[in-house]
Amino acid sequence: MLTRAQVDPFVRVVGSVLRIRYLADPDGRVTPFLDRLLRLVRRLEGRSLETVVEALRRQERRVRDASRLAGISRALIEWCDFDAPDGARHLEAARHEVFMARGAIWPPVPGDALLPFADAAATLGLAADVLQRTLYDDRPGARRLRRVPDGDGRALLARYNLELARGVLRDATRVELHTRGGWRDVFRAVKAAGLMHELRREGKRYRLVLTGPAAAFLVRPARYGVRFARVLPVLARSPGWRVNAEVIRDGQPCRVQLRGRARALATGAPVGSEPRRERYDSAWERRFVRDFRASSWAKEHGWQLSRERSPLSSGGAVFLPDFTLRHTDGREAAVELVGFWTPEYLTAKIAKVRAAGDTPLVLVVAKALAVGDGGSAMQDVGGERILWCGQHPRVGDVMRLVERVAKAP
C-alpha cells in the first residue's frame, strides 16, 4: 500500500468532494516511461530489494514529481516477487553461534574481528569474512527479486492508480460497493477484513455498505480504512465495480467515488486490472450452464440464465447462489447447485434456504454425490424448493421448479 506521502500530493478536496489526480497518459509519454521502469527492474532479477529500490529512486532525475515516482516504484515492487537469498535460513543459527563465540572471547581486541566467525563459517562452508559480510542477508531488504510480472507499462499505470485509490480509502469511515459480479470473492474479503456489512437491493443491482463496527466511538473513526482498502483489489477484479466512500480528510468529512476501467478508459487513466471472468466452481456447474444453453425449452419459455451470483439476504447472513434465472416478464429465481455434500453441510444449506423465507431460491442436490455415511437419511429431507436429482440435474426438472417459485423482485 502506498504511504501517505505518496498519496496526499495527488488528492484534493473541492467543496465536500475528494478528487484523485490519477496518472493519465494524454500525450503517450507516460506509458513508455513505465515500460522503461519495467525493463530496468527485469534487468535486476536476482538482485536485492535494496538494490531495486535504489535503482528506481535514481530515476528521479527523469521525472518532475518525485512523489509520483515513489508511488509507482512502490506499486511496481509490490507487484514483483521477492524471496530470501540462498542460505538465508541458516543465518539466524549462524549468528547465534557467532555471538556466543564472542561472548566467550570478550572483550574484542584489535585483530580478532573474524575469530568469532570461524566456527560458524566453517559449518556453512564459507570463509569467515564472507559470513561477516552476509551476516544479515536474511533481512527484508536483502530479499532477492525472483520474478517481475509479464505486464506492460499500461498495466503498471492501472495498478498504480488502483493503489492511489486504496491509499484514499485508508481514511474512509463508510464505503458502498457496487459491482455486476464477483460477489463471492468480495464477500470473502469483507468477512476476512472483519467489517460490518449491510446488503441493499436497488432494482436489479445490489449495494453493499461496509462500516467499521465501533467506528462511532473511536479517536480515529477511520481506523477501519486499511480494512476497506484491503477489499478494493478484490472488488477491482469484478466487472463494473464502483465505490462511494465517506472519507475524513484534514479532520473534515468528504465523499469520494472510485470507478473501474469503464470510466477510466475515457480519461486515459485506467484504475485496476482487466475484470476477471468468473470461473465455474465445479465441472457440475459448467455442465448445467452448457445444458441450459443447449436447451430450446428455456429459451422458448422466455428464461435466461445469468451468472451474476446476485447475493441474497438470508436470516441475517448473506447467501450467494450459483445462478439467477430471469424471465422476460420480470420474474426471477436464484439457483444453488450442491455438488459433493456431507449431511452436516447439507443441513446447514437447507437451514439457509429456510431462513431465506419466501425468497425465490431453488436448491438442487445430487443424490449420487453424498460423501460418507448418513447421506441416504438426508435424502428424505424435502421441501418445495429442494430438488433431488441423480448424477446430474436435468434442465427441465430445474426449470419446472423455478417456474413454481419465481417471482418479480
Partner 1 sequence: MPPPVAAPSIAFRAGLAILRGVPAARAPDWLRHDPRLDALVAAGARYPDLRDWAHANDVPEATSASNVFEAPLLDPRTPREAQQEAVTRWMAAGQRGTVVLPTGAGKTLVALMAIQRTGTNACIIVPTRALVSQWFTQLADAFGAEHVGAFYGDEKEVRALTVTTYHSAFTLLERHGARFTLLICDEVHHLADSATGEARTRLDALIIAPAPHRLGLTATYPDGQDSWLVRALGPVVYRRSIGEMTDAELARFAIERRYVDLSPSERARYDAESERFETYAEQSQWRAQADSPDTAWKLFAASARRSPAARRALRAFRERERVVRMAEAKFEETARVLRMFPGEQAVLFCGGTDVAMEVSRRLAIPLIAASTPASERHAILNAMREGTLRAVASVKVLDEGWDVPNAKLGIVLGDSTRGGARQHTQRLGRLLRRQGDQVASLFELVAAGTWEFFASQKRGAAVRKVADSQLGFGL
Q: Given the rule CB under 8 A, which of 98-106, 175-183, 307-315, 332-340 is the region that contacts partner 1?
A: 98-106
- The single residue among 36, 39, 96, 299 that binds partner 1, judged by CB under 8 A, is 96
Q: Using CB under 8 A, which residues numbered 42 to 61 contact partner 1?
A: 60-61
- The single residue among 139, 255, 276, 307 that binds partner 1, judged by CB under 8 A, is 139
Q: Closer to partner 1 at the Cβ: 219 or 283?
A: 219
Q: Report residue 161 as a C-alpha cell.
A: 492508480
Helix (H) or strand (E) run with residue 201 in it:
strand 196-202
Q: Given the rule CB under 8 A, which of 133-141, 163-171, 282-290, 291-299 is the region that contacts partner 1?
A: 133-141
- The single residue among 19, 47, 223, 263 that binds partner 1, judged by CB under 8 A, is 223
Helix (H) or strand (E) run with residue 4 in it:
helix 4-7
> First vs last Cα of the chain: how many Å apart?
40
Q: Report residue 61 as a C-alpha cell.
A: 532525475
Q: What distances in angstroms separate CA 231 from CA 194, 227, 263, 321, one per listed residue?
A: 11, 7, 20, 21
Residue 200 touching partner 1 (CB under 8 A): no
If one counts every other C-beta atom within 10 angstroms of the C-beta of residue 12, the result is 12
Ranges of beta strands (E only) in 320-401 are 323-327, 332-338, 361-366, 386-389
Residue 218 touching partner 1 (CB under 8 A): yes
Q: Closer to partner 1 at the Cβ: 60 or 83?
A: 60
Query: SS3 sequence, 210-278?
Result: EECCCHHHCCCHHHHHHHHHHHHHHHCCCCCCEEEEEEEECCEEEEEEEECHHHHHHHCCCCCCCCCCC
CA atoms of 247 and 12, how far apart (whole Å): 12
Q: What distances in angstroms separate CA 298 from CA 28, 227, 249, 334, 396, one per listed residue?
A: 49, 43, 53, 15, 8
Strands 242-249 and 252-259: antiparallel
Q: Given the rule CB under 8 A, which of 127-135, 153-161, 177-185, 278-286 is the region that contacts partner 1?
A: 127-135
Residue 67 touching partner 1 (CB under 8 A): yes
Question: Do 42 and 22 touch, CB atoms closer than 8 A?
Answer: no
Q: Closer to partner 1 at the Cβ: 105 or 381?
A: 105
Map residue 129 onto helix, strand or coil.
helix
Q: Given the rule CB under 8 A, which of 74-82, 128-136, 159-167, 276-284 is the region that contacts partner 1?
A: 128-136
Residue 307 touching partner 1 (CB under 8 A): no
Q: Closer to partner 1 at the Cβ: 46 or 194?
A: 194
Q: Closer to partner 1 at the Cβ: 176 or 278?
A: 176
Q: How many residues make contact with partner 1 (CB under 8 A)?
A: 42
Give me Rg for the CA atoms of the chain: 28
- The single residue among 103, 111, 125, 372 that binds partner 1, judged by CB under 8 A, is 103
- The single residue among 42, 95, 178, 307 that binds partner 1, judged by CB under 8 A, is 95
Q: Given the rule CB under 8 A, which of 190-198, 243-251, 268-276, 331-339 is the region that contacts partner 1?
A: 190-198
- The single residue among 33, 117, 288, 319 that binds partner 1, judged by CB under 8 A, is 117
Minimum distance of partner 1 from residue 268's CB (angstroms): 22
Q: What distances in angstroms separate CA 361 from CA 308, 314, 407, one per listed residue?
A: 14, 11, 10
Residue 173 touching partner 1 (CB under 8 A): no
Q: Closer to partner 1 at the Cβ: 19 or 139?
A: 139
Q: What is the DSSP letter of 389?
A: E
Binding positions for partner 1, rule: CB under 8 A: 9, 60-61, 64-67, 92, 95-96, 98-103, 106-110, 113, 116-117, 132-133, 135-136, 139-140, 194, 196, 198, 211, 213-214, 216-220, 223
